[in-house]
Amino acid sequence: MRKNHLWYQMFRFPIVKTGLNFFYRKIRITGREKIPKNKPILFVPNHQNSFMDALHVVTTVRPFIYFLTRAEAFNPKPLDWFLRSLNMLPVYRVRDGFSSVQKNNAIFEECIRYMHRNDAIMIFAEANHNLKKRIRPLSKGFTRVAFGGEQASDWDLDIQIVPVGINYTAHREAQNTVHVVYGDPIPVNHYKSEFEEDENAAAQTMKADVSEAMKKLVFHVEDLEEYPVQEILWNDLEPEEAILTDPNVVNPRIQKASEYITPKLTEQAKEAKKLADKHDIPLRDFAISDGLSFREFLLFPVYMFSYFNNLIPYQPVKYLTTKVIKDHAFDASIKFLTGLFILPIFYTLISLVLYFTGVDSSWIWGYAILSVLSAPLFTRGKTLFAGDKIRQLQRSHPEEFNKILKILDSFQALRDKILTE
């Protein structure tokens, strides 16, 4: 048995997977049956949402997975131990220095050893995260691991590359939908002949094949110039989360819309995005109705409890995401990890205070259970009780509010036209 087997399995399934099911409204998995059994696997997911991307893979498959993570995350020393205990391996970049990059060779050799015992490796081939919903150019690191593993075993290891697409309704927020799509496996030995003739050409072919496979698994806009328009049409104006996160539906729409895009539309899209970003409001919030539903009306007291009960532990999250960490790709990770660790501690402390002040145990248990079950309602409760940013914008900057709505109305008309033709 691997020395961290019990800890790793306990952390990723009972703890992390349960936490993810609370954090997100719905997690949908497609194509899991395509994952090869009893073979070494190299998972290659897209990378948009920082730490959350890795969690969605490790909690939805059974293989023992090691995944490569930026080396800077492994400092200080106690964090290095903790991350390695979760099968995370440091990978160094050129800017980390030449001596540091040389350490990658040892990491790649370690990956190859793991694959020899049919473990899985996960590599984010895009190298860094980006909130744009598209596949970016892939780096060659995963090809080194793939070809290195086969070379070390005289092409007898049969490594399978499994492309993965992770689709989010909204990257930064809790209580949205995630769709994880596993693609068809790509055997590394398919590239053996080309590799033996020209190693660089084989690596380029593999990168191109994996990239094309990944583009079919996610919301993908090929032309970056079209992205502002396509994002509004098929992301911000899409009312159905199941459609928004389904590449089989949305990608044909993206291709069809290309012929309608003009420089004027692009400028309008950029203007709307700039105005919304100025007030830190997603454009999707303007487009999708956010009125009080009948269910929310019935559960109004529970939303109120969740909001006030979680207001104190939310403050570190608010501080980190608004004052300290400027990269919004970390927002969901911060919120999730805070909820995973700080909320149980906070609920326990409140329960202890109630206990030592003489409150009956049945009330204490009731508080603890209600706290856990109502925690997912905090996001919506915050909107209901802390104030709606859109309404605040409408009151404070009506001209900007109306400008955004006017642009979105014109895009809605274009969207309707494309869908009906």
Give one DSSP letter per residue of 60-115, joined into a string. T--S-EEEEEEGGGG-SHHHHHHHHHTTEEEE--GGG-HHHHHHHHHHHHHHHHHH
Residue 352 lies in a domain: yes
Pairwise CA distance, residues 22 & 409, whole Å: 34
Residue 90 lies in a domain: yes
Q: Which pLDDT score, from 0 to 100, does residue 304 have?
A: 96
Domain end position, chosen among 215, 249, 267: 215
Residue 263 lies in a domain: yes
Q: Are residue 76 and residue 142 in the same domain, yes or no?
A: yes
Instruction: Provide the 10 A C-beta neighbour count for residue 7.
Output: 12
Residue 382 lies in a domain: yes
Q: Which pLDDT score, from 0 to 100, does residue 62 have?
A: 83
97/146: higher pLDDT: 146
Q: Are residue 99 and residue 36 in the same domain, yes or no?
A: yes
In the predicted model, what is the mean pLDDT of residues 239-248? Answer: 96
The backbone region for 164, taken as left when phi is positive above 0, alpha when psi lies in -120 to 50, beta otherwise, is beta
HSE value, Cβ hemisphere, 13 Å, CA-based, for 370: 18
Q: Are residue 302 and residue 407 in the same domain, yes or no?
A: no
Q: Which pLDDT score, from 0 to 100, does residue 290 have?
A: 66
Structure confidence at residue 133 as a pLDDT band (50, 70, 90): very high
Q: Which pLDDT score, from 0 to 100, does residue 102 have?
A: 73
Q: Are residue 151 and residue 261 in the same domain, yes or no?
A: no
Q: Are residue 21 and residue 100 in the same domain, yes or no?
A: yes
Structure tokens at 416: 């309707």
Q: Which residues contact 297 (CB under 8 A, 6 or more apart)?
A: none
In the predicted model, what is the mean pLDDT of residues 238-266? Answer: 96
Q: Which pLDDT score, from 0 to 100, does residue 95 have?
A: 63
pLDDT at 291 over 60: yes
When the pLDDT of each residue in the chain is averaged and rounded to a whole number, the result is 92
Residue 52 lies in a domain: yes
Domain end position, chosen among 162, 181, 215: 215
Structure confidence at residue 170 as a pLDDT band (50, 70, 90): very high
For residues 243 and 249, the answer to whether their CB atoms sit within 8 Å is yes
Domain end position, chosen among 152, 184, 215: 215
In the predicted model, what is the mean pLDDT of residues 217-246? Answer: 97
| DSSP label at residue 408 | H
- What does DSSP say about strands 186-187 and 160-168: parallel, antiparallel, or unpaired? antiparallel
List pLDDT tens digits, range 113-122.
Answer: 899 888 999 9
Residue 202 lies in a domain: yes
Which residues constitute the domain of residue 401?
224-290+397-420
At 165, phi and psi to the nearest 5?
-115, 125
Q: Are residue 239 and residue 256 in the same domain, yes or no?
A: yes
List pLDDT tens digits, range 321-347.
Answer: 999 998 999 999 999 998 999 999 999
Pairwise CA distance, residues 48 & 171, whole Å: 8
Q: Which pLDDT score, from 0 to 100, does residue 106 have?
A: 84
Q: Are residue 122 and residue 169 in the same domain, yes or no?
A: yes
Pairwise CA distance, residues 411 & 340, whole Å: 39
Q: Are residue 107 and residue 43 in the same domain, yes or no?
A: yes
pLDDT at 1 over 60: no
82/224: higher pLDDT: 224
- What does DSSP say about strands 186-187 and 177-182: parallel, antiparallel, or unpaired? unpaired
At 416, phi and psi to the nearest 5?
-60, -40
pLDDT at 181 over 90: yes
Give one DSSP letter per residue of 28-57, joined into a string. EEE-GGGS-SSS-EEEEE--SSTHHHHHHH
Where is 394: in which H helix or E strand?
Answer: helix 389-396
Instruction: Give 230: exposed, middle or buried? Use CB within 10 Å, 0-12, 13-18, 19+.
Output: buried
pTM recorded for the entire structure: 0.92
Domain count, the chain: 3
For residues 194 and 201, the answer to whether their CB atoms sit within 8 Å is yes
**Of 106-110, 180-184, 360-364, 404-408, the least confident:** 106-110
Q: Are residue 247 and residue 345 in the same domain, yes or no?
A: no
Structure tokens at 125: 């081939």
CATH of the domain at 203: 3.40.1130.10
177/289: higher pLDDT: 177
Residue 39 lies in a domain: yes
Q: Are residue 300 and residue 334 in the same domain, yes or no?
A: yes
Structure confidence at residue 39 as a pLDDT band (50, 70, 90): very high
Residue 392 lies in a domain: no
Pairwise CA distance, residues 383 & 372, whole Å: 19
List pLDDT tens digits, range 77-111.
Answer: 777 788 888 888 888 776 666 566 677 788 888 88
Q: Which pLDDT score, from 0 to 100, does residue 164 have?
A: 99
Structure tokens at 91: 């990978």
Instruction: Provide the 10 A C-beta neighbour count for residue 278.
Output: 11
Give the sign of the dihedral formed by CA 404, CA 406, CA 409, CA 415.
negative
Q: Are residue 271 and residue 321 in the same domain, yes or no?
A: no
pLDDT at 255 over 80: yes
Q: Are residue 130 and residue 271 in the same domain, yes or no?
A: no
List pLDDT tens digits, range 347-403.
Answer: 999 999 999 999 999 999 999 999 999 999 999 998 888 767 888 898 999 999 999
| DSSP label at residue 289 | -
